[in-house]
Structure 1
């Protein structure tokens, strides 16, 4: 999970690295925390994507973070960790959701570390898909061809995450085959706070409220993580053609290109999806809208109690989301990031609409089971969800 839409050291290290000031906001990852236990995914994964090459590409392409001294970096990392810890109690109180046990400390990372951890998660998520493709023997590949191909796909994956790495403020990484962790991207928190010219402590607290809400969603609701991973894995498998299916799928894509570039398109996912797959995309999108909207509502509802400048931050942050150039807007549309932005607004409208009718406890019935999650049409019609779930 991310909110709106930094060089990986040889081993992640605690606190800021001993690099020059411009790169001082380095990873604070525990060297014993291996994310998914390595970036290979399944044994077949490296044959299709060279994940280590993807990480190297991401490291090369991601821009350096804002200029801070090593001392400033150490102070900032400590402040972000503290803000994440302080967010736990007000989020639990406001959402009326309580996760069992003690939450592990947030992982404060730089951009390349965020890339590396997300590539590990991507490898695990795509492993079943690669097994499906590998089972299609109609178009055998040579060892040399697969090696070159895996480098190309690795470079593509690394470039994609490098583009996103300077936009992500925080994320609850579901880690499909590992340990989920709350990630906070230190250089981006500093860069956006400086750009908006808002109070640094208040901005850190505000972002941490959003990301802590995601942590609570997935830890207080035992079935939710496995359900979302299963839906995403299933959808990825459905949408990835085997070699023998590829030619026919490409012919279908040509006619959909104008829709993908249009203002209502969901990006490349919609471009390659069949009508049946689009229905599944809509189901997953409804879940994501719920999660993002709920986190936005909680972060703003908590705000006035503990964040004096929350109204100023929300206003400036909302304006910032609108301020992108034409080229950036096209790329965001192709990647589905504009649809991602709509999830915050649509989901927040659903949460507030339901809460207005049945209160917070009535809204929390949404977490009862997969069957009580909102259907795609209900995201825009909260009363329909209330009728279906509450009668």
Structure 2
């Protein structure tokens, strides 16, 4: 009986030979080129040879497409993102005229002078630029890739896992090794979708700092003249005033990130921390996996575009998103106030400023597509409150003290300061006059920790009276960690180093 069972199975060498034949195209139409004995063995195992050959044919076609696109290894090929983004960015064939460059060079020059009166943060080392949409894609793509990579990995891994779960047990040995291939398909498809979103975003942004996060290289300020006219079409303001305002805002944004060199990493880290917490909803993939055709990936592409693969945010993600929104609001609030003070000579500056704030609050179609794809909305919900905080600080302590808050990470205002600017102002006035700043909850917590450490290392720590409350007042007995603090092996709660 055992011999009969063994006759129904392939040996390892036979499986490998059959897999090579199928993936190498030896199957052909109707199974030509495959040993009939192998097909008969598959039938005895309950596997439909025709169905298997169809699956392998689809994988051959997808593999050929991947190879022709330059895909290699089992990682994510981001070249498709760049190709797709540049295709969309450059499809109208428009460039930048000499008149455009001259206009924005003059706007940047005047904006530089005005900013010297509104902030103590120094000028940029590199001259600001007027760039094309394609140049914006080239310069910002590395940051977009870094932000999206955790989500791409999650989607590619989930697709591989679901397909593995959907594969019948008797076929798993046969298709072993296909997981890396399917991972490459899912990752490359995500990369292509990301490229499409970045390409469409290049048709909307008007400056390097337009999306709020530092996507341009450090110290680089840029304007996209190709999108300038679309932005100002319904504002009913003159082009020269709009150019001056946007140039001033872009310079302020770039100056801030160049001055506070830690800020760029701080923002990117918070974005990637949020993205790493995203886990793909496999229930949508499970249904797709049962009928997925790697050579016809439209259904998977539609799932990616709709955001259906990204489940509802967890409480941890909501907290991470709130921290990020507060950080972006703090940054853009400062940029708003500095830009407003620098452009006070422009009659239409308030109207332009309001249009910029509304645009950032709503976001364009491409930004909304990015939110669906990556699960992240880069819109600072507390921008008006943060701007009000910076205005109060500026009026109370002046420009120099205000800008000094960007010197070190621990000086930057937090969410509590947005809620209560007066507390921040009191601290700044005390620091400016050389007085000790008023105590806060952090000071109290630090004192309590130091007192606990001092008590744990005191000479009376081993006495019975200390264990009973020490002063005879009938206090609560010390906990286990305190009672063991005098031993050679510190307790897990002992603050002293081991």
Residue of 400, 425, 428 corresponding to 1:361: 400
TM-score relative to the length of structure 2 = 0.53
1:290 alignment counterpart: 330
1:265-295: CA deviations, max 9, x gaps? Answer: xx99x96543233323222222211111111
Equivalent residue number for residue 343 of structure 2: 303
2:49 matched residue in structure 1: none
The alignment status of 1:228 with 2:255, answered yes or no, reads: no
Per-residue CA deviation, residues 157-186 of structure 1 (Å, 9 max, x unaligned), is 12222342232111247469x655223222
Q: Give the corresponding residue for 1:80.
A: 104
Q: What SS is found at the alignment partner of 1:340?
A: coil
Specify the alignment match of 2:230 in structure 1.
191
Residues in 1 aligned to 2:153 and 2:338: alpha-carbon distance in whole angstroms:
40
**Alignment check: 8 A CA contact 1:45 1:130 kept:** no
Q: Secondary structure at the match of 2:261?
A: coil
1-structure distance, mates of 2:191, 2:152: 14
Check conservation: 1:174, 1:180, Cα contact below 8 A: no
Preserved CA contact (<8 Å) 2:156 2:183: no
CA separation of 1:127 and 1:63: change in aligned 2, threshold 3 A: closer
Q: 1:56 to 1:207 in 2, by over 3 A?
A: same
Distance 1:134 1:151, change over 3 A: closer
The structure 1 residue matched to 2:117, chosen from 93, 98, 122, is 93
TM-score, structure 1 normalization: 0.65
Native 8 Å contact 2:392 2:421 kept in 1: yes
Question: 1:57–1:159: 8 Å Cα contact kept in structure 2?
Answer: yes
Maintained 8 Å contact 1:45/1:123: no
Q: Do the aligned partners of residues 114 and 346 (structure 1) sit closer, same or farther apart at CA in structure 2, a change above 3 Å counting? A: farther
Superposition deviation, residue 147 in structure 1: 3.2
The answer to whether the 8 Å contact 2:281/2:311 transfers is: no
| Shift in CA distance, 357/46, structure 1 to aligned 2, threshold 3 Å | farther
Q: Which piece of structure 1 moves more, 349-358 or 195-204? A: 349-358
2:85 is matched with: 58
Matches within 5 A, 1:366-381: 366-381=405-420
How far, CA to CA, are the matches of 1:208 and 1:313 in structure 2? Answer: 12
- SS for the counterpart of 1:195 is coil
Q: CA deviation at 1:338?
A: 7.4
1:340 to 358, 379, 384: 379
Q: Are the aligned partners of 1:249 and 1:272 in contact in 2 as well (CA < 8 Å)?
A: no
Deviation (angstroms), 1:125: 4.8
Is 1:152 aligned to 2:176, yes or no?
no
Specify the alignment match of 1:351 in structure 2: 390
- Higher relative CO (Cα under 8 Å, sequence separation at least 6) belongs to 1
- The offset of 1:61, in angstroms, is 4.1
* Larger gyration radius, structure 1 or structure 2: 2
Gaps (5+ residues) in structure 2? Answer: 1-70, 165-176, 286-306, 431-437, 439-498
1:84 shift after superposition: 2.2
Aligned-residue CA RMSD in angstroms?
4.4
Aligned residue-pair number: 321
Give 1:203 deviation, angstroms: 0.7
Matched, 1:114 2:151: no
Distance 2:391 2:126 in 1: 30
Q: In structure 2, do the counterparts of structure 1 residues 294 and 188 end up closer, same or farther at CA, with 3 Å as the change threshold?
A: same
Of residues 216-225 and 290-299 in structure 1, the stretch that sits farther from structure 2 once superposed is 216-225
Output one character per residue of 1:45-67: Cα deviation in whole Å (capped at 9) or x when no partner.
Answer: 985543221122224445967x9
Residues 258-297 of structure 1 mapped to structure 2, 5 A cutoff: 272-297=312-337
